Structure 1
């Protein structure tokens, strides 16, 4: 007496016969690709762990989460960008303040002033982002940046951060 085939064996034989017939080859390839894509792990950044990891994932500018130094260019006249003074910062507390805390502030819609400072943000010796800062006028403080596609975004900046930037402006060379 012949032993009955289990469901898995029946499925296997059915599957092999259908592949041999080549009728279901395309859907099979699509199904295998889909399963592979669904099961592949998302590559994550091993260097970013701890409490800031969620903040970094939701950050409006993820490219600046690894900034380790900022080169500030202060312009006496923004229309003449050939004349400026510089000041470099690698203070992690200030960098964290600019790149995380200040970025959580509300958007500045049509601020009445123009930027007066450029921050060149570096990570591992490479410029990753340029921030445009307005800090001189008492009533107008913001951080601006360009998103992909050329969209200008401006975020309100706290008075204390603007005051610190203006202190560095006085000490710049």
Structure 2
């Protein structure tokens, strides 16, 4: 019988069995987003505060976790899911009226994109936490993160030395 010498870092089965709301709560508990949210609040200044920055940011994260293909899809989900609205931080007393307009959400997403360095810093902090817990992380690990499939066989032509897909190694 073969023995697995290295246990997995965590089990995807546990994550996959969790509901979308549970996975979203896990993300909210782990992500170091305070600097980003403070910067977004400072950018807003004394402007209209119809939709709280933290609730809007949490809604963006919810859209990613729940794999909504568009802002419109996310807003529809927020409109019908009171528990999601509450977890995001929208006023539960307002019901579906608390859901941002498409225009407000689009402007907010643009302001988030403008904070790219802070977002990169969040990910760097998360990697730093993992590195502290797992000092050897990444030393013997590799993956193909490319979203576009390669169609190369990997064999080089004898005459030219080229492969059938020039972007494949």
The normalised TM-score by structure 1 is 0.23
Which has more helix, going by share of residues?
2
Which has more strand, going by share of residues?
1
Select the structure of larger CA radius of gyration.
1
The normalised TM-score by structure 2 is 0.24
